[in-house]
Structure 1
């Protein structure tokens, strides 16, 4: 008679089949398992998208800070060269437009200065001078130097270059009988040139020898509206230096809109008295 082990012994292949059948019967009534792989893949994609979004947002924030820092921080050329980063400096502030004080000129005996004018009239003339200075400075050639107004009269300005002072006379004066500017004549060494300004106005320029004849003065004249307009640049007598402005240069100045705007303003609201002429005897 065999042992208990012999009773329960089953061939290997048969045991495998029995176990598999039992598992199939046990799980037959259970619902199918969800697609874990698909869900995991979808979750992974969402997580990856969130990471990319976070990285992109951080990059934008860093870029914004970089731009702000480039504008706010001063430029260091040495650091730029070593790092390869170029900062954009903030634009410089505009230069001060505060009018400069005038050049003081002591009046000659019997002459009066702007200091003797009524306060309102003096303020009006000084305002015109302060508007004229930057226009003359920008339109006259650099050889004239730094342009400044004077406190002697509204017509007088100075140009200073290399220690030499050139007197500039700029006048917009109401016309009086017989005071219209005369055409330039090439007499006594004077060299003339003319041009036509906007509105058909004819302007004359002349370079003429003065004093001992070794130096020249440059002059401009024309009639505008109800006024006679003149501009002259005198030589520097002490050094025998002629006025550093040519006829062509002064005629180009006369065509400039900024200069004509000054003329127009003074013609509409004069800063000088009407010129009087003495009757012929």
Structure 2
């Protein structure tokens, strides 16, 4: 019989992995789920895939789209937005959560070695910054190996999908708008340089849970951070508009944004006029 602590750790890993796979992977519905639960799971997967995939968006949809660009310059030995620490006290990066891509979908594993290493380096620098700025209700934040934009927060068996996106648009289109329709609640704030930030809380699924998001524009990139609810337990994203507006102004978060805007790893987002 193994060490009880090792067994508890293994059981915890299996629980987290199962929760993450059920949240983001396109797997068949569990046999004991009811019809409405299956539909809710499908909507959940569609929402996450929409947040982390796709490069062609209409102007009308750009305000609620997520995507990312990543830095190369400015990656010194101390990282991005993370204070320098003595090498002996710096914790090694945690391995990513493994998420299988859907059929026809690519993952970070498909990238050239240098590009993949660059994205992983950015994720490893983003995790401690986001972990320190997001509310405790998000739980332990981990990067994933599916997309550089996709992270997972886990607490008490609940998994929250976090999408951090800084993506160049190749356009001067300003996405800072928010229509308060279908229960969405918006609140405006400002960065230290005066840039307007919009935070929103929107009902999803059957309207019994909400997801939270901030978005703003930096240089020629659209910036978005979204937190999805945990559908299985009907738990809304544990973050408020005010908390997200405070996060957006933090120097460490803005350092990540600036570095990602300066040296993106994704292609510029292609924008088509609405209706095309």
- Fold agreement, TM-score > 0.5: yes
Judge conservation of contact 2:171–2:220 (CA < 8 Å) in 1.
no
C-alpha distance in structure 2 between counterparts of 1:264 and 1:234, whole Å: 24
Judge conservation of contact 1:181–1:223 (CA < 8 Å) in 2.
yes
Judge conservation of contact 2:211–2:237 (CA < 8 Å) in 1.
yes
Query: Does 2:234 correspond to 1:240?
Result: yes
If the length of structure 2 is used for normalisation, what is the TM-score? Answer: 0.66
If the length of structure 1 is used for normalisation, what is the TM-score? Answer: 0.65
2:91 pairs, out of 90, 97, 106, with 97
Higher Cα radius of gyration:
1
- Cα distance change, pair 179–126 in 1 and its aligned pair in 2 (3 A): farther
Judge conservation of contact 2:176–2:197 (CA < 8 Å) in 1.
no
**Which consecutive segments of 4 or more residues in structure 1 shift more than 2 A?**
93-97, 176-180, 277-281
Judge conservation of contact 1:223–1:229 (CA < 8 Å) in 2.
yes
- Secondary structure of the 1:128 match is helix
Count of aligned pairs between the two proteins = 189
CA RMSD of aligned residues (A): 1.5
Matches within 5 A, 1:111-190: 111-177=105-171, 180-190=174-184
- Cα distance change, pair 227–159 in 1 and its aligned pair in 2 (3 A): same
- Structure 2 portions without partners, runs of 5+: 1-86
C-alpha distance in structure 1 between counterparts of 2:124 and 2:189, whole Å: 28
Judge conservation of contact 2:152–2:159 (CA < 8 Å) in 1.
yes
C-alpha distance in structure 2 between counterparts of 1:179 and 1:230, whole Å: 15
Residue matched to 1:216: 210
- Cα distance change, pair 160–179 in 1 and its aligned pair in 2 (3 A): farther
Judge conservation of contact 1:203–1:222 (CA < 8 Å) in 2.
yes
Q: Deviations over 1:97-129 (max 9, x none)?
A: 211100000001111100000111111111110
Residue matched to 2:75: none
Q: Deviations over 1:207-226 (max 9, x none)?
A: 00011111000010000012
- Structure 1 portions without partners, runs of 5+: 1-92
- Where relative contact order (Cα < 8 A, 6+ residues apart) is larger, the structure is 2
